[in-house]
Amino acid sequence: MIRHVMAEDRPFWLRLDRHLPEEGFARKVRDREGYVLLENGQPAGLLRWNFFWDQIPFCSLLFVEEPLRGRGCGGALMGRWESDMAARGLARVSRGRGGSQLTPKGRSLWENGQT
């Protein structure tokens, strides 16, 4: 299950996202600028996004716990985010590049725009 980030996700989120100050986390919750992947009711992944130039949604962090990697969870998080952006009328999103935590298969999909 994927849902918007909630205040109760704070310990999980801030353990992984060391670049986001605590007040930034509260803003992500308030503005619904993040998603949490749940596995058996527990947080197991996240996606954080921002705006480039206050106009273009940009995925700034994507993380999936090791046991779930290679099972399409990252793609599901990206798909949910892209779908929500389209529903807001934001047809263009930026996925960024990088992903040192991607599996080889995930990296290939990412680089070919398939996730």
Q: What is the DSSP string of 50-87?
A: EEETTTEEEEEEEEE-GGGTTTTHHHHHHHHHHHHHHH
Nearest Cα to Cα of residue 64 among 72, 52, 54: 72
Q: pTM to 2 decimals? A: 0.79
CA distance 44 to 113: 23
Question: What is the full per-residue pLDDT of the chain (115 aa) written as tens digits?
Answer: 999 999 999 999 999 998 999 899 999 999 999 999 999 999 999 999 998 888 888 899 999 999 999 999 999 999 999 889 888 887 677 766 544 344 455 556 656 665 4
* Ordered domains of the chain (ranges, CATH): 2-111 (3.40.630.30)
C-alpha–C-alpha distance, residues 83 and 14, integer Å? 25
